[in-house]
């Protein structure tokens, strides 16, 4: 009771004493006029409700009066919902104990673009005979790359799976054969990719079980109705354009004779040059065979040149000394390669050669000539 001066049976003491204006004052009957010393229970509950909750709305649900509280107290805070049938006192106590979960802040600015990653492969730069089960060891040179290491299993295109046993100065790789692919090449040419892979899985096949007895043929079931076509899914995002490309050019129909003048190696009908399709960085490789039938020692010099910009390719010059009196006629293979960066599409790279002495026959063989490029980035 909120009456500070109450007598027996809930009556206000002022009323019992016969004070005017009080009348029959009890918790269930409103006084004709509430006073500070004489407030009925309905007045006290209304004051408490207004002060604690504020303005509330009342509705009837299943024959019962229900209060709709202000400030979304019925559902609680966003991110901290009030449980079903959870009293306000228990809800507040849980918030005090567990803490209030903060709201999601605004989306931050997009971070700066990361640097380009490294290629997950390397490229062979020397030709070698493919290993066999009888002779499983081999060695070859590659473009130095951190993606390969000793003990790693690699896959070589046109060959198969190898394990790296040693790497010398980052570019000479020693391997042991694990497994050849069907129809593998007998000679692995420069330009083949070397891809790191996991170790080969074991091929384990269990014993074949006994064949069971043939069961009786069941009756044919009723043909089911054709289902409705499913909805067409959304178009996926466009894939990223690949940055790598490659190409191969073979020689023409006429051998080329070396002279003491440095000039383009030309086989006639088919140009031996490479046209690089788009701006970027490439591995460029020219491979050919040469015949010296004089039995005299001389120096052959080869290099690469950008025909479009009329500039020599740095670090592409190769000097080869043909030994004296090894055989009367000596045929040997040469490889000239370099990393080439171009700034415009369609720049042309050519191979050039010269000899220190133009006597006797010194020819570059068109039939064994091949040039290739692989775009690195």
- Which DSSP string corresponds to 308-341? TTTEEPTT--EEEEE-TTS-SSEEEEEEEEEEEE
pTM of the model: 0.37
In the block, tokens 């740095």 appear at: 314
Cβ neighbors of 324 (< 8 A, separation 6 or more) are: 295, 296, 297
Cβ neighbors of 266 (< 8 A, separation 6 or more) are: 252, 256, 272
Q: Does domain 246-375 have CATH number 2.40.10.10?
A: no
Compute the Cα dihedral for 145, 148, 150, 154 and give only its sign. Answer: negative
Dist CA 333 CA 290 (whole Å): 6
* H helix or E strand, kind and range, residue 368: strand 362-375
Helices (H), 99-256: none
Dist CA 257 CA 362 (whole Å): 6
- pLDDT for residue 8: 47
Cβ neighbors of 219 (< 8 A, separation 6 or more) are: none
Other Cβ atoms less than 10 A from the Cβ of 179: the count is 13
- pLDDT for residue 132: 94
Dist CA 223 CA 199 (whole Å): 48
Q: Where exactly are the structural domains of the chain?
A: 1-54, 122-197, 246-375
Q: Which of 189, 351, 368 is nearest to 291 (CA)?
A: 368
Average pLDDT by stretches of 10, the chain with 377 residues: 45 46 50 73 80 82 84 78 84 84 79 85 94 95 93 94 95 95 94 87 74 87 87 79 68 85 86 90 92 74 94 90 60 89 95 85 86 92
Check for a shared fold between 122-197 and 246-375: no
- pLDDT for residue 329: 67
CATH of domain 122-197: 2.40.10
Give, in order, the Cα–Cα distances in Å from 58 to each of 55, 64, 81. Answer: 10, 10, 22
């Amino acid at each position: 009771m909120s009456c500070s001066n109450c007598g027996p049976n809930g009556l206000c003491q002022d009323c019992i004493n016969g004070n005017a204006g009080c009348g029959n004052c009890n918790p269930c009957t409103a006084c004709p006029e509430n006073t500070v010393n004489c407030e009925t229970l309905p007045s006290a509950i209304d004051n408490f409700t207004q002060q604690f909750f504020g303005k509330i709305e009342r509705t009837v649900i299943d024959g019962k009066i229900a209060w709709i509280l202000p400030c979304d107290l019925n559902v609680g805070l966003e991110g901290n919902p009030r449980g079903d049938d959870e009293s306000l006192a228990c809800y507040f106590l849980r918030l005090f104990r567990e803490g209030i979960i903060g709201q999601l802040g605004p989306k931050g600015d997009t971070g700066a673009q990361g640097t380009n990653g490294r290629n997950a492969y390397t490229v062979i730069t020397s030709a070698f005979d493919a290993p066999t089960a009888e002779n499983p060891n081999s060695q070859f040179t590659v473009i130095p790359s951190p993606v390969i290491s000793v003990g790693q299993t690699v896959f070589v295109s046109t060959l198969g799976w190898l394990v790296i046993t040693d790497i010398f100065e980052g570019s000479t790789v020693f391997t042991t054969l694990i497994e050849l692919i069907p129809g593998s090449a007998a000679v692995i040419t420069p330009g083949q990719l070397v891809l790191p892979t996991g170790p080969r899985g074991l091929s384990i096949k269990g014993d074949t079980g006994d064949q069971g007895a043939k069961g009786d043929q069941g009756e044919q079931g009723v043909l089911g109705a054709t289902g409705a076509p499913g909805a067409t899914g959304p178009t996926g995002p466009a894939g990223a354009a690949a940055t790598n490309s490659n190409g191969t050019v073979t020689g023409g129909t006429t051998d080329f004779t070396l002279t003491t003048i440095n000039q383009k190696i030309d086989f006639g009908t088919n140009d031996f040059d490479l046209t690089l399709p788009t701006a970027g960085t490439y591995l460029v490789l020219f491979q050919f065979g040469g015949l010296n039938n004089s039995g005299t020692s001389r120096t052959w010099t080869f290099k690469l040149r950008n025909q479009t910009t009329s500039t020599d390719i740095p670090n592409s010059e190769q000097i080869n000394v043909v030994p004296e009196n090894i055989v009367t006629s000596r045929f040997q293979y040469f490889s000239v390669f370099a990393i080439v960066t171009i700034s415009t599409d369609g720049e042309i790279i050519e191979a050039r050669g010269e000899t220190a002495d133009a006597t006797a026959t010194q020819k570059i063989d068109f039939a064994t000539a091949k040039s290739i490029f692989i775009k690195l980035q």
